[in-house]
Structure 1
Amino acid sequence: MAGAQGSDPTGEAPPVIAVVGPTGSGKSDLAVSLALELDGEVINADSMQFYRGMDIGTAKITDAERRGVRHHLLDILDVTEEASVSAFQHQARAVVADIHSRGKRAIVAGGSGLYVRAALDVLEFPGTDPDIRRRLEAELEAAGPAPLRERLEAADPVSAARLGDARRIIRALEVFELTGRPFSSFMPERKYFQPAVQIGLEVDRELLRERLAQRVHAMVERGLLEEVRRLDAAGLRHGKTASRALGYAQFLRVLDGVSSVAQATDETILATRQFARRQLTWFRADPRVHWLDWRDSDLMNKAAALCGTPPDPPLA
């Protein structure tokens, strides 16, 4: 029996719901259950699930697993396109407004922390300049990352201390040249753009480690290598974002003959576990997240109660 509709007699939209946590913790399943209970629709906030054809390696929710619930912002990019947090922010907020206008609940689900914040929080994104970007990338190619890092340390020591990879250093320098402001000045306070509630899935870390290993092995058995081979033909390795996805980067090396399937599987398991730890660190830093035990037999009812619309009582 479905719970109360998302409309509010006062005319105000209900809070946006976000289901967050590490990869493999069951976010997609809980989001679908909440959508069925609260008459909602799900908005994807996993940046790698934007890509068409990246299904096995991203554990993208299948049509059967969606159980009839409408999902948004899945399969919206080709693998050669670059994902943009700024573009996602505009898309996600437009989808939230549409869902609420139809009296339904908007449920954001995903483990890409910055994308979740882009959907929920007051968050300003500086523009881009392709000419500046190309020049900085040429400098990186010619001299390596050290000179760029030194320049960033002088202009924006806060960002220099936070950012590790060359791509992010280039972005920080681009923003500084474009705006005259340090990239770190654009980091937001934890302030919701509109009312929201975040539900985090609390995991047993050792059980999660085992689950992630089993999941990667299952992906390989389902045809991950063949999926990577097909996407490689479609330009995967030329995509700045998609080519770095967990599993895809590792299995591209199998296609290149530099890794075996067994090696790529082990590397993917390790990288996935490391990613899950980073996700937990990210979401744990947000005091607004309500944490629930991922294995609680009453998980869905407890989550629904947090959303401001309790489910109907069970039938006698």
Structure 2
Amino acid sequence: MSEPVVPVAIGPDRPAPTLVEKAVVEGGAVVSDLDEARGLIWVGKPADFPPLPESVEWVQLPAAGVEDWFTAGVFARYPKVRFTSAAGAFAASVAEHALMLLLAGVRYLPEHLRADSWRQQDFFPHVGSLRGKTVTIVGAGGIGRALIPMLTPLGAHVIAVTRSGHPITGPDIPDSVETVSTDQLGKVWSRTDHVVVAAPATPETRHLIDADALSRLKPSSWVINIARGPLIDTDALVAALSSGVIGGAGLDVTDPEPLPDGHPLWTLPNVIITPHDSNPPQLRLAAFADHVAANVSRFVAGRELLAPIDPRRGY
């Protein structure tokens, strides 16, 4: 006797993206209309989220960050539905971008790009290396885990900061990685050369990097943010960058976002800003489809889903 077919809907657009449709089928389900679906792959925005029929047990959301979904009240409306994010799906692309921003800062690339004459002696004192330096990754989830094996071959020591502080392990995670809990974050700044912010955005993590944290870093430290803008106090960051408290900042996300014309961050010479494109559309859809296929397969088999959202934690 054949197994029953599991119906999974895709919204809001029909026809759905071809890669997502293929992912549902590869996962062992069949694409269906919402009114008969047990699962929903949502590729739209929170404001467009539809009323769910009672048959829906699980919803896959399209982004790793889900703060806008809390604001829209989606989870509160459907407390019995399991929601999963795309956390981890885009980790490799975003981690690569974080490494690019960090290396660009450490190697003094902004000034090199602005130069219009041969200024070798001016540049030499400022060009650094990651070898022998300590990089603290604040929020060592999917992105942080992907970044660790990119950093350690360059000779960097990594401190991974997680909510629990449990050791991070895996086939590509070296034993030298140090893990600390979030409540111990204040104790690592004095040992930190550079910081990568990769934590989820919740009320508790707002301004996690504030004036006090910045003041404990080194004048050569670069702060990289590829998570969400509000994790860093922008006013405090501008002050630290302007006064030389830290060496620079590489920002793929800002607060406010989009960063308005005329904002001080645009004019500071020790800032690199990319317009939230660490996960561009041409890479995002394929990575999301892979994530969908894996989660559909798990849903069909009754296994634990990837990236479950815990409304109590806020991510």
TM range (shorter): under 0.3
Q: Larger % of helix: which?
A: 1
TM-score (norm 2): 0.27
Which has the larger strand fraction?
2
> Which structure exhibits the higher relative contact order, with contacts defined as CA atoms closer than 8 Å and separated by 6 or more residues?
1
TM-score between both structures, scaled by the size of structure 1 = 0.27
